[in-house]
Structure 1
Amino acid sequence: MTALSRWRRTGLWALAILLGVGALAAIAIATTPPGDAMDPEGVGPTGAAALVAVLEDNGVDVETFTSVDDVRDALAEVDEETTVVIANTSNLGTAAATTLRQETLGVERLVVLSPSTGQLRALRADATALPIGADVRVESRCDIGTVDEGDSLVGIDARYEPGSGTTGAKVCFPLTLTSGSGDDGGDDGSGDHGAGLIELPSSPAHPPMTVIGTTTGFTNGQITQEHNAAIALRLLGGSPRLLWYQPDVTDLADSEDVEDGSLLPAWFTPSLALVGFSLVVLALVRGRRLGRLVPEPLPVVVRAVETTESRGRLYRRAQDRPRAATVLRLATLDRLRSRLGLRRGDSVETVARAISAATGRPVSEVLDLVSGPHPTDDAALVRLAQDLSDLEEKAHRP
């Protein structure tokens, strides 16, 4: 592979990695975390700080909470001049909804923004939630006090149908066959496809409840459009005290909603899939199959014994007889340990006794061979090597 090909391949991989990182960043940016919508302290387009500020300017005491336990403590002394709003139902578990319903039985009004059918059932509201798929503008076609005839609301993202056994329910913002085109059509106000707002009277199971299918309509980015601000002020400003409940992710515990993976951010699954796909592609491209071994012709033939002979010549040239004798004795001891079934850690005395038993030679003679004084000349070194070889032969064949 030439240098140009390697650089080209590296460039392609760098481009693929950059595209993958860019895709992950785009998914993360395009996905709004559930807890950000209608944040009472949020000043961005999805926050609700503007609505809270206007409510407080009109004399409403706004108290914000992120836990159902804190709301329950605040409702310890229930006041009929109190409104409770569940501003973001994305993190509202069915267990938290049930607790909230029990604790709000004496309040003036409970307002819920864009709840699901499961959350409505936990709140004991006889209604069904139906998705729309996009934010639409709808006219009220009703006059119920909190909503005037002719009001229009931008940002309806859910529709609701009251149950057949519900009595006294009032509906506003009907979604008819032509509502998506700006003409809300219909004269009865019921809506051919449900309604954007349902007002349920109080019952032994729940307080007076207003269910409205919008979250984005009351955010900083859309509160000034059409009659959104007026409708929000009438819904939430009718009582001198407003408990703003912004459920945290911990309130999803013990909820059936947790089973669908709602604890994870929406971008997590596609990001994980993209990373996994990238790893598979990388493995397929970079992986190489091992073929058969290919012999490589050598320029010269190197004998296996050449290293030993070269080391011997070095010892002879350096006149290092003690070192050569030590190497010979250690090699002999290692081989004899293996032949006689001894352990590598056994002492020289133990090995000498075993050799003596195997060869019939005295232990002192064996010790003199394997650990005696070093030879003083070449002739003594040669004799030592011959004696060690003879000792190995006898120990091998006693």
Structure 2
Amino acid sequence: MTTTTTETTSPAPTPSNTLTPRQHWHRIRPWCFSALFIVATLLVGAAITASTVSRSGHLLNPQSPAPNGAKALAEALQDHGVHLTQRDSLDDVLADIEANPNRTVLLHDRAALLDSDRIEQLLDAGANRVVAINPVGDRFEPITEYAWYSGSIAPEGDTLENDPYAAEHDYPAGEQCPLASKAPALGPGHASVFTVGENDPDAVGCYETGSGSLIVVAQHKTTELIMVGAYEQFTNDRIAVESNAAAAINILGANEELIWYVPGAPDVQVAATPTFDDYVPKWITPVMLLACCSALALMFWRGRRLGPLVAERLPVTVPASETVEGRARLYAKNRSQLHALDAIRIGTLGRLAGLLGLERNASAAVIADAVTRVAQVPRDHAYRVLVHAEPTSDAELVDLANACAEIERRTRTALGYTETGRRIQTPDDPTAETPTFAVRDADPGDNQL
């Protein structure tokens, strides 16, 4: 009694689906970096916003604690019994003056919203005192008869666009200055210099420099006019230097009512609402019309009428050899040697299954084991050729294709079949004239690239 042993292959271990810490980190790393980038962006934006709010702001803003604000001056004036009212409309200021002329009006037109007519209207309103902060520009023409702008100065080591004079020391008030007794000197800082005019003998310059005065006191009709070029000396950063605070309080605290007037949106002179034609150049319309006419003419000149569709009988028959060659060219172009070898393996395994009497859907491992037993092919060689090998070059692909053909040839020889699928008749087997197994002829395209 002959005992047949069958080799069985142990199944491959099932890979674990649990992610390792390294794999988990690689998976969440893009999200972590994105979250860190968003948080860093928000923190930087918040820091910039806080820095902007704390260190910047409008110059001489009475509510700003920033270095260029004037909150310290506003609180000092309130401590001296001065009631401060902020206004951003000339109409409101004129109404306040009409109700009580005994007021001091501080004019700081930092956005240049007022014209010369409206500035003259403010001067003629009849307020007790008008203080103009840095009145530089053509719009201040109503006060140029008292003094005019003649240059700028800056602290030592700093520069301005127009800086003919260097501020290296404090500025004395001068003997004729009405502020000299309480504020004998001003500290250094950015300032505008004014030259007192000769047409008004009552105009007095205070805090002299080498070429003019930082503050000019004049009389406009019934209103006392004070031109302040030393605007930086009144900021929070410099109000405590020398007699800056005393000068500011004496200038702005002469009356119990102070109007801090900074022209705003209500003072903007709005012209007629512009139309679409105001934004479009005059030449754009004829150019667009000419371009449209040129495009239409080009379409009629170069246009071609489509002819009738080509009639074709369907379905179209494509020879198998053309399909095989076309697919092989695609594999060769993309250097997909493994796909080409898989096509060869599928054909070889199908024919081997028919030769060995196995089902057509038998696995490659089962067919390889059967070939090992029948054709005496080494098991490792059969598995490598029919299952595992992956070619990396055209030469390896050709070798594996030839190996598949050799395995099939040995199997046919071992089973006694010819190339046509018929068994060879032997004296020991007289009934072998007809095929024992239904084996189809080899398809010449199965092993082609």
TM-score (norm 2): 0.43
Higher relative contact order (CA 8 A, sep 6+): 1
User: Of the two, which has the highest radius of gyration?
Assistant: 2
Q: Identify, as 1 or 2, the structure richer in helix.
A: 1
**What's the TM-score, normalizing by structure 1?**
0.48
